[in-house]
Structure formats: C-alpha cells, structure tokens
Amino acid sequence: MEKEINYWLKEGKQSKITPRIKSIVEKFDGDEFDKITQICEWISKNVPFNSDYKKTIKIFASRTADKIINDKFSSGCHDVAVLTATFLRALSIPAKFIEGINKLKPENQGHCVVEAYVRNRWILIDPALFLIYMEPSRSDFYEENYITGISIDSWDNGVKTFDDWKNVSQKVINHVKKIKTK
C-alpha cells in the first residue's frame, strides 16, 4: 500500500531543509512545473558534476543536501536527486528519492531520480538529464533499472557510502539471478 502523500513532505537526515535551502527555493516562482525547471537550472548552474572519479567514490552518498550546496559540486545523479527532492519538499511538493541499478550492467551502473506529486499525480523527474515523465512507469529509468530503494533520501534507504550502494545493489542482483534461474 502506498504511503500517504504527506509522508513524502518530511525531511530526512540527509535531506534536511535548512535556512539556506529555504532561502534558495523562496526565489523560485510560477506553477509547480516552473519551479521544477528552476530547481534543475539552479542545481546545474550552482552544483556542477565533479569529474574526479576517485573523489566521487570517496564522497558518494556521504553528504547532506546542505553540504552538497556548500561544496559547490555533485558526485552525479545521486547528489542532484537528493537536492531536487529536498528543494521540492521545501516548496511543499511531496517527493520520493528513487535509486536503481542498470538491468543490463548491474555491477557497473546505477541511477537516481525523483518522483514528485504534482497536480494530483506522481511524475518522474530525472534532474541529471533534465527529463520529466508524466507517467513514471513509461520512463527510461523504470525500463532500464531495477529499483533498489524508494525513500526520503539515500540515508533513509541505508546508503551512506559507495560500499553501502554496492551492498544494496548486490542484494538486488542476487535476487534477480535467483528469479532468472527458476
């Protein structure tokens, strides 16, 4: 059974809505879709991707939304999804943080997205790729990934490091292998 919509407005330890985050989002205006666009643009402009792979692995999933803003760089889709979910909730838009691993290359690839409750329905936002899907089940994300968690943020899903991510992913990989061999 799906959790109540209001559940997805609460902040997590990683996605705490700080005064800095409130001051950023209060500048966003227009309808919900305008605000989603402004969130993605703000993140792209102010928190660019870090290209240093070793640094990315070292910090993966370990920072709060506020720390990501302070550091002025992201580790990739994970961090931009944490920021997007946090910003949406700060604007009173319910948001789910969703982690997945690639169905074709599960040992090597994963992706994070956000679902937001807009106009009485869930939509999928892929802030790393600037994509919005009005019907999440039809998105490339759901077609290409096994879901490893739907949560408030990755810490809520038990992922605080790259090793945690590998462990969660391995459990899903093992489960899928068992299903395929039956």
* 173: CATH: 3.10.620.30
Q: Where would I find the beta strands (DSSP E) of the chain?
A: 95-102, 110-118, 121-126, 131-133, 145-151
pTM of the model as a whole: 0.93
Number of Cβ within 10 Å of residue 130's Cβ equals: 12
Residue type, 105: K
- C-alpha 126/C-alpha 100 separation (Å) is 12
- C-alpha 150/C-alpha 59 separation (Å) is 21
- pLDDT of residue 182 exceeding 80, the answer is no
Task: Spell 118-127 as b/e; 16+ CB within 10 A means b.
Answer: beeebbbbbb
pLDDT in tens, 55-77: 988 999 999 999 999 999 999 99
Counted residue by residue, the chain has a size of: 182
**Per-residue model confidence (pLDDT) at position 173:** 81
Mean pLDDT of the chain: 92
Domain residues for 146? 5-181
Instruction: Report the domain count for the chain.
Output: 1
